[in-house]
Amino acid sequence: MATSEVQTVNATADKMRLALAGALVIAALVAYYMLAGKGSLAQWGGLLVGLVAAIVIFFTSELGRQLIAFGREAVREVKKVVWPERKEAMQITAYVFAFVVVMALFLWLTDKTLEWVFYDLILGWKK
């Protein structure tokens, strides 16, 4: 039971951190519009200070730590990727372009054939 109480406290604390981060984002936006008469430096400064504070608080929460861990894992996985050489990448790109051209011609011919069959032969609506 003690473990679930600790998790509840942590979950509540995390919810409070996320709520505080959201409130800081809203406060930063309000400050931006409220400081419009004070000059653009004060206006942008208020916005940036509020957003940076919100980001710092967000990253201290469990969700923020999970996001950081996910980013680290993603970078680690990208480093494992074997990227193709330039020649191979150019060949693959050429194949894709050729396939797109062939498919475009096929679809255009299919469309024109169906148009001719339906409008000219079946319905008799000659252009």
The whole-number average pLDDT for the span 85-113 is: 97
Q: Which residue is it, tokens 């998790």? A: 7
Q: Determine the Cα–Cα distance for residues 51 and 41; give it in Å rounded to an integer.
A: 15
Which of 48, 65, 81 is a domain's end point?
Answer: 81
**69 and 124 co-located in one domain:** no
Which residues form the domain of 91? 84-127
Is there a single domain that holds both residue 2 and residue 46?
yes
Same domain, 61 and 47: yes
What pLDDT, on the 0 to 100 scale, is given for residue 114? 94
* Global pTM value: 0.56
Q: How confident is the model at residue 56 (pLDDT cuts 50, 70, 90)?
A: very high
Q: What is the pLDDT of residue 13?
A: 87
What is the overall mean pLDDT for the chain?
90
56 and 105 both lie in a single domain: no
Q: Are residues 44 and 94 in the same domain?
A: no
Q: Is the pLDDT of residue 64 over 70?
A: yes
Residue 39 CA: distances (Å) to CA of 42, 45, 53, 114: 6, 10, 22, 64
Tokens of 96: 């894709």
Number of domains into which the chain is organized: 2
Under DSSP, is residue 81 helix (H, G, I), strand (E, B) or coil? coil
Instruction: Kindly indicate the confidence band of residue 3, based on its pLDDT and cuts at 50, 70 and 90.
Output: low
CA gap 121, 115 in Å, rounded: 9
Residue 36 to residues 43, 46, 51, 96: CA-CA distances in angstroms?
6, 10, 17, 51
Residues 66 and 122 in one domain: no
The answer to whether 47 and 28 are in contact (CB under 8 A) is: yes
124: confidence class by pLDDT, cuts 50, 70, 90: confident
Query: Within this chain, do residues 98 and 71 fall inside the same structural domain, yes or no?
Result: no
- 15 with 29, same domain: the answer is yes
